[in-house]
Amino acid sequence: MSKTMLGFDIGACELKLVQWDGSKVRRALTAPMPDNLVKNGVIISYPAMADFIKETARENRVSGRDCAVILPASHAFLRRITVPAMTEEQLRVNLPYEFRDFLTLGKDKYFYDYAVNSLDRDEEGTPKQLDLTAAAVPKEVIEDYRDMFRRAGFRLRTAIPVECAYANLLRAHGDTEGKEFSFLDLGHTAARLHIFSGTRFEATRVIDIGLGSVDEAISDAMGVDEHVARTYKHTDYQGAQTLEPAVNVYNAIALDFRKAVNFYGFNNRESNLQDAWCCGGGVHIAALLKTIGQSVELALHDVSELLPPAAQSAEELSVCAAAIGAAIQ
């Protein structure tokens, strides 16, 4: 495998693409997603998406063939499970049964993978119990993605849930032992809070309000099309980011974020979560971050603090954090 790896994060509003050379992020870029190409996290047309990716890479002179991609939550089932100590072969046989309540297709229709978080031993040192993060993805989905990237001129090497990408960032960052981390991904259709103990995934909480709601609020307030409103939001044209309707959306996001943090703390009394690293398009809206910071007793950080060395500014990298995590898998 070549050292260069491209990382893709295909969102509802933007395509995020990074180029990783094995030690540094060489490129990080975003491109607006064509309308109706992604809905509810699902790619509507794989051939059309392939053509869009190919054209985006060509226009930006992106080099490299091997690539990794973030799988949407609708396609990837992720679970923390505890099982008796067993061999790798035994795990392969037993993993499908750990997902039996979640899968809609036959168990043979999925690929399964796992990462070992910890191995508990008894007083005599004999392996007793495994703590795993396990994933299941439909084989058909992987084939669709593989064909899509092949059509775009790339070779798919890795496809992972976003939680695994953030775990990769933590492993690469180091100094995680005994610490808690949370990633607040402020996306277009939703915000998501991903919580880790060290590099071990603990939980994801979904906040069903995203930046698209901010676009709608600005659109109504300023009497413009939502696409224009999105541009106004990005540039803070005529104070669009601090319009009262937009601030009302920030308050709703912050309230749900506080509920998510409190719910996690209530169910994990030993938790001492103190920090959240922000990523996604929302990191560029100061008023949103200020509102969230005033709502929760967590210190907010830019995710760039956890990212590997890069040849670009933190502002460009923060939106592409998940794609970076995929590329360094």
Class of 5-73+142-167 in CATH = alpha beta
Is the pLDDT at 1 greater than 70, yes or no? Answer: no
| Residue 226 amino acid letter | E
Residue 2 predicted with pLDDT over 60:
no
| Percentage of the residues of the chain whose pLDDT score is greater than 90 | 78
pLDDT at 328: 94
Q: CATH number of the domain at 77-139, out of 3.30.830.10, 3.40.1380.10, 3.40.720.10, 3.30.1490.300?
A: 3.30.1490.300
| Residue 131: pLDDT over 70 | yes
The CATH 3.30.1490.300 portion of the chain extends over 77-139
The model's confidence at residue 178, banded by pLDDT at 50, 70 and 90, is: confident
Sign (positive/negative) of CA torsion 211, 215, 217, 222? positive
Residue 43: the pLDDT is 95
H-assigned helices in the chain: 46-59, 88-98, 139-152, 162-173, 211-222, 226-235, 244-267, 286-295, 314-318, 321-327
pLDDT > 50? residue 267:
yes
Give the residue-averaged pLDDT of 135-143: 95
Burial (CB count within 10 angstroms: exposed 0-12, middle 13-18, buried 19+), residue 238: exposed
| Residues carrying CATH 3.30.420.40, the chain | 5-73+142-167, 174-306
- Top CATH class of 174-306 equals alpha beta
Predicted confidence at residue 155, as pLDDT, reads: 97
pLDDT band per the 50, 70, 90 thresholds, residue 322 = very high
Please write the tens of the pLDDT for every residue from 220-261: 999 999 999 999 999 999 999 999 999 999 999 999 999 999
